[in-house]
Structure 1
């Protein structure tokens, strides 16, 4: 797809306006809780004092931002009709506008509906299946519980300090991306164990990490979140591909968890944690308050600190009395399942090029398909960096080919005696 210079300038101008307009939209910082509050409440909960936390939010005024985003949407619809880049810009502006509406309601139940619009709800159907995300979450929790006794021998040692892990990750990423391109920092105020941007990965100060954590950070944060952001920065036309817009969150998080899976960095306990958060979102939407959700995590085997952090993720930005939730954690499992299906579909169609394009920036699965003509024409660039597991194409192809075939074996029809080999 060839575009003339004037159209090229129009794309770039709208994209630049989009970047400028969204600079003040910071979703997670706006809904996050102070680390000092978490520390006090964890100590209290561990002693049995289950008062609801008192959380104050600073509600931003984003009226001017919303107006600019609406204008970008209109121009993209009118001036770029029929072109996938116009559709990309319009969809992206719309998702940022919904996010702005969500943040302007922070601290109220009004956060719930836009967060569901952006991230989905637990009962949403899984593409290509009659099961829902909630069904999948229940399955992985039950499977983890059933396997738990057999997996006790697989002891996980939390013997890496944040500083030790920082030094180790810095060495690995300097070798992969080039010296100093990604900075690893220890942040004592970080509520999550880790967070990644294009050029910075933060680790929670005082936390201890296992080898599983290390592998997950590399596969998930560095080789997906940071990598796609850096590749997005290489794009000469659409600078917005360097930033995760709300509409691509499900694909980005799903791709990151898929990277854990395909590289052997995920364990059953991790799948259980992801799944429990989806069940907790469903509980909160159905009226459970913060304390009830916290106790649910404790009942499911998590420690006091992990239970508090997990419950906090569900109630970010919303009242703690029940009936409301911040739905972002819904995307990890649903995104994983959808991305896994997309990889298998692309392999079956012999379209490995689409899988590579997925790493060219912060894209949704829909974008990879619709923007394909612009990749082929050179308007959009292929990724400069690919994760290590994507560079080993034969190994990836073997895993996908195997999963395609075994997916046709229905376990409900397998009889135990059929598996006995006769010598």
Structure 2
């Protein structure tokens, strides 16, 4: 009869090719400005009066050739019903990524972004506005660390995982061509010009390493390669899980909650037709967002022609809280990168021994107070309940 994976070998070959094609697109890197530091300096020099010009790197692939490879995959021959459905959905998502990347810096890009990440419903906007109203502004933090210091802290965090999981890979790079802290295919990329609030270092490490890297490495150990790259629509759940990591480790402070809420408001304004300057000034004047933070939020929303991706953080944690209250287990979400809607599929593959239990357990589950916080969320909580009061500057 053969093992489950031997029986599924033809399907797993298509899985590998889908993952290779998406890896070649590198959507995250290719929608990140390469000149954010210079653009900020110019914006500050003109007294915040002229919208910045954001540059994106040239694509290093030929879209038509990638589409040809994509649609040459014989997904129709996959006999496992669950995998057949999954592969078709992933092929469609990759095709939308290709089109979105072709449409960068045009008015069409926002429609591709909406197809990839979804729109925002009015209840989410109302929640964001309520958070911004009830959470008071905080005095700016005066203690910051450089990109180099953050990289050292990140390497120490990787070492903590390697102490338990000897083969846990560590990839940390400080780069001058990224504008935001990010994980790309298991690599932690740190903007060279960035500074970080000292009290945000640990929560950010739990977010980036303890969630994005851990789920990447767990997925990389599975026979289904797409669990490392991400099943269709995985981003929302992945960011919700990363925000949960910040909360359970005691790092989801009022400033951070206000940023997550402001991102939703900024996306909503962009979809209503507001440009960079209108979004930037609205965040500062209406919602009392600090100038540099308002800049960061605004460029993330207008990049490429309009991106809705930043709404998925608040929406992701909202849906995750609902899932926890319904009794869903967190453990299955560490198998790899996938959406909440895929839990029945993943559980089925686990039950059939196609997939294995997660290799790495996130450290943030075991920090002091994490289980008590998690128990409170399981009893029923909304995003509003994540606000635990003001903190000292």
Superposed CA offset, 1:241-295 (max 9, x none): 1113562111111111111112211111111111112111111111211111122
TM-score (norm 2): 0.86
From 203, 209, 229, the equivalent of 1:222 is 209
Residue 38 (structure 1) shift: 4.2
Deviations 1:35-86 (A, max 9, x none): 2x542444434542522333455466412322433444xx43553353x222
Q: 1:170 aligns with which of 141, 144, 155?
A: 155
Alignment match, 1:187? 175
- Name the structure 1 match of 2:17: 17
1:375 aligns with 2:362: no
**Alpha-carbon distance in 2 for matches of 1:20, 1:62:** 15
Structure 1 residue 16 displacement after superposition: 1.5
> Within 5 A, what are the aligned runs for 1:4-403?
7-35=7-35, 38-45=37-44, 47-48=46-47, 50-55=49-54, 57=56, 58=58, 61-72=62-73, 75-77=74-76, 79-80=78-79, 82=81, 84-123=82-121, 132-144=123-135, 147-148=136-137, 156-178=141-163, 181-192=169-180, 194-235=181-222, 237-244=223-230, 247-299=233-285, 300-318=287-305, 325-347=306-328, 352=329, 355-390=330-365, 396=371, 398-403=372-377
SS where residue 346 of structure 1 aligns? coil
Give the structure 2 partner of residue 415 of structure 1. Answer: none
Query: Which secondary structure state, in structure 2, belongs to the residue aligned with residue 196 of structure 1?
Result: strand
If you compute each CA radius of gyration, which structure gives the higher value, 1 or 2?
A: 1
Deviation at 1:305, TM superposition (A): 3.2
The change in CA–CA distance for 1:233 and 1:138 in structure 2 (over 3 A counts) is same
Conservation of the 8 A alpha-carbon contact between 1:134 and 1:278:
yes
SS, match of residue 8 in structure 2 = helix
Distance 2:246 2:320 in 1: 12
SS in 2 for 1:181: coil
Gapped runs of 5+ residues in structure 1? 125-131, 319-324, 412-423
Deviation per residue, 1:103-130 (Å, 9 max, x gap): 1111111111121121122226xxxxxx
Indicate how the Cα distance of structure 1 residues 164 and 389 shifts in structure 2: closer, same or farther if over 3 A, else same.
closer
Deviation at 1:406, TM superposition (A): 5.8
How far the C-alpha of 1:383 sits from its partner, in A, is: 0.8
List alignment gaps of at least 5 residues for structure 2: 386-393
Q: How many residues align?
A: 377
What's the counterpart of residue 321 of structure 1?
none
| 8 Å CA contact 1:42, 1:304 repeated in 2 | no
CA shift for structure 1 position 375: 0.7
What is the distance in 2 between the residues matched to 1:177 and 1:222?
12
Instruction: Spell out, residue by residue over 1:294-323, the C-alpha distance to the aligned partner (whole angstroms, 9 max, x if none).
Output: 2223323344433222211011111xxxxx
Report the Cα distance in structure 2 between the residues aligned to 1:16 and 1:395, rounded to whole angstroms.
Answer: 36
Contact in 2 for aligned 1:254/1:339 (Cα 8 Å): yes
TM-score for the superposition, normalised by structure 1: 0.80
